[in-house]
Amino acid sequence: MTGTLMYAAISTRPDIAHAVHYLASNMQAPTQRHMQAAERVFRYLAGTKALGLVFGSRNGTLVGDSRGRRAQVQVDVCAFSDADWANDKGDRRSITGWVAKLNGDPISWSSKKQRVVALSTCEAELYAESAAIQEVLWLRGLMEELGLHTQTGSTVYGDNQSAIAVSENGVKGERTKHVDVKYHFVTETVERGDVKLRWVPTTQQQADIFTKALAAPVFLRLREQLMAC
Residue 83: strand pairing partners: 96
Per the CB < 8 A criterion, the answer to whether 168 and 160 are in contact is: no
**C-beta separation of 150 from 194 below 8 A:** no
The model's pTM is 0.87
The secondary element (H helix, E strand) that includes residue 101 is strand 95-102
5-59 residue pLDDT tens: 999 999 999 999 999 999 999 898 899 999 999 999 999 999 999 898 988 766 5
Rounded to an integer, what distance in angstroms lies between the CA atom of residue 126 and that of residue 103?
24
